[in-house]
Amino acid sequence: MLDSASSLAATDKAKAAAFVGRPRVKGRGLAHGLVDDMAQKIQAQTLRPGDKLPTESAIMQAYGVSRTVVREALSKLQASGLVETHHGVGTFVLQPKSGGMFRLDPAELATSVDVLSVLELRISLETGSAGLAAARCSEEDLLAMRQALDEFEHNVRVSGDTVAPDLRFHLRIAQATGNPYFADIMSHLGTSIFPRTRISALVDVDRRSEYLSRVNREHEEIYEAIARGDAESARAAMRIHLTNSRERLRRAQEAARSAEAGRPADTPAATSADA
């Protein structure tokens, strides 16, 4: 028993040693530097698929950064598909994938900038509504949210419409606040709040399914926090979900700008994909 405990402690100590980061990360910003360093560890399999990342406090100590920087970095890593966070459990390393999931036609950059602005609005609006919904929602609200998520999941499997149940889920959260102005704003924005309704769809059906399944896992985190009445976790889950959406779109914009800069003027733009 003692030998087993000693072995486990040694394994944890080895993982912690492997995770030690730079004292301070500079250049493009602390969060970017932290993302780059952790991504390198994942690509090199110093951090292997299935590994649980250290706690936020441990990462703060290892890199000498604030909790805000750590949370921003983890959100970016999750948006990149390198890690996945389960509230109350931890953040786990995913299997690295070659290439990016999203591509934008350079011709769609103007539209994507507009969508990015809407996402910034949604982060402020819906983070607050999720917290209020956790404190005020009824059983009827929860049932409607659950039905929307179940329909979303079913439609991912059968390649059906996911926009309508997605909108219903977010709209029901707004309605569950008991403040009609939240629902009014969401209803006014309508389906324009979703990037995939404003730019071209993913060409690769398998990758589209993977993307949408990830989106719905983020939805599930929001729902579970609201269902247990945990306002702080509901706000955090909503912020992660929408920040991930913003980061995915931002990365696609950067790739599209690079493609546009390197493409001759008379060459047709590359086939686009969802962001």
Q: Exposed/middle/buried for 184, CB within 10 Å: 0-12, 13-18, 19+?
A: exposed
Mean pLDDT of 2-13: 45
Q: Which of 47-56, 138-147, 196-205, 222-231 has the lowest mean pLDDT?
A: 196-205
pLDDT bracket for residue 14 (50, 70, 90): very low
- The Cβ-side half-sphere exposure at 49, using a 13 Å CA radius, reads 5
* Shared domain check, 218 and 141: yes
With a cut of 50, say whether residue 267 has pLDDT above it. no
The closest of 132, 164, 156 to 213, measured between CA atoms, is 156
* Shared domain check, 175 and 73: no
Here the CATH number for the domain that contains residue 7 is 1.10.10.10
- pLDDT above 90 covers a percentage of the chain that reads 28
With a cut of 90, say whether residue 160 has pLDDT above it. no
Q: Does some domain include residue 268?
A: no
- Residue 96: the pLDDT is 62
Mean pLDDT of 230-258: 83
Average pLDDT of the chain is 76
Higher pLDDT, 260 or 138: 138
With a cut of 80, say whether residue 113 has pLDDT above it. no
Query: Where does a domain end: 93, 128, 155?
Result: 93
In sequence order, which residues have a C-beta less than 8 Å from that of residue 110 and are 6 or more positions away? none
Cα torsion 249, 43, 262, 201: sign: negative
- pLDDT above 70 covers a percentage of the chain that reads 69
Q: Which of 49-53, 84-88, 262-266 has the lowest mean pLDDT?
A: 262-266
- The Cβ-side half-sphere exposure at 168, using a 13 Å CA radius, reads 17
Q: Does some domain include residue 272?
A: no
* Shared domain check, 229 and 163: yes
Distance of CA 79 to the CA centre of its chain: 4
* Shared domain check, 137 and 257: yes
* Shared domain check, 111 and 71: no
- Residue 153: the pLDDT is 94
* Shared domain check, 84 and 161: no
Integer Cα distance of 151 and 44 in angstroms? 38
* Shared domain check, 121 and 71: no
The closest of 212, 222, 221 to 275, measured between CA atoms, is 212
CA dihedral 165, 206, 95, 211 (to 10 degrees): -30
Q: Is 23 left (phi over 0), alpha (psi -120 to 50) or beta?
A: alpha
With a cut of 50, say whether residue 101 has pLDDT above it. no
Integer Cα distance of 187 and 174 in angstroms? 9
Tens of pLDDT, residue by residue over 168-201, are 999 999 999 999 999 988 888 776 666 655 455 4
3-state secondary structure of 272: coil
Mean pLDDT of 191-213: 62
* Shared domain check, 197 and 162: yes
Q: How many domains does the chain have?
A: 2
* Shared domain check, 185 and 254: yes
Higher pLDDT, 240 or 21: 240
- Residue 21: the pLDDT is 56
* Shared domain check, 75 and 112: no
Q: Are 191 and 115 in contact (CB under 8 A)?
A: no
- The range of the structural domain enclosing residue 25 comes to 2-93
pTM over 0.75: no
Mean pLDDT of 123-137: 95
What's at 257, amino acid-wise? R
- Residue 19: the pLDDT is 59
3-state secondary structure of 90: strand
Q: Does some domain include residue 267?
A: no
The closest of 213, 214, 125, 211 to 173, measured between CA atoms, is 125
